[in-house]
A = this chain, B = another copy of it.
């Protein structure tokens, strides 16, 4: 019975339709706008049938995450293939990584847990730490008479390393060895301070 095959193919297709619809909604309305009923609407079914393809909403998210990692991996591989020297490869890889994050921002958010909650308040409240840091950085750099932009840049360099490291630790829940954390922290802070003196 070849109809079995066709039915299986159809099942696979609606499965993909669910994932596609989900991601479409997310691109339009963000992760908070995603709901089972909206997915159902988009694929012209009612909500419960989704549960015949995915055990729950999180399973959909997990599968999308998986697809995201596969896509990222492929792009990284093709970045490798473009160069011969490993140094060039590495640089191309991180540039590819950077591009991936901004051409698939929603996907990146899901994969690495980047969320935006409220911004208006934050932008002003954030000024406290920002001011303190930039003041001290300016003091460290006072011999080279840096511009405000340079100070800002140095601040963000610090911030990137340390926030990045914190984020990995929170997401991976201390999967990383404590010694590695300490080493990176010490290296990064010491290194940047030295570079700006």
Contact = CB atoms under 8 A, between A and B. Distances in A.
Interface string A128-163: 110011001101100000000100110011111111
Interface centre among A113, A133, A140, A168 (most CB of B within 10 A): A113
Copies per complex of this chain:
2
Contact of A168 (B58, B80, B95, B159): B159
Interface residues of A, number: 89
Interface centre among A102, A160, A177 (most CB of B within 10 A): A160
Interface SS, A side = helix
A189 B94 contact: yes
Nearest to A62: B121
Interface of A: 58, 61-63, 65-66, 69-70, 72-73, 76-77, 80, 86-87, 89-91, 93-95, 97-98, 101-102, 105, 108-123, 125-126, 128-129, 132-133, 136-137, 139-140, 149, 152-153, 156-173, 175-177, 179-180, 183-185, 187-191, 193, 195, 197
24 contacts: A65-B121, A65-B122, A66-B121, A69-B122, A69-B125, A69-B126, A69-B128, A70-B128, A73-B132, A86-B136, A90-B137, A93-B133, A102-B166, A110-B117, A111-B122, A114-B170, A119-B171, A156-B168, A160-B160, A160-B165, A160-B188, A161-B161, A164-B167, A167-B167
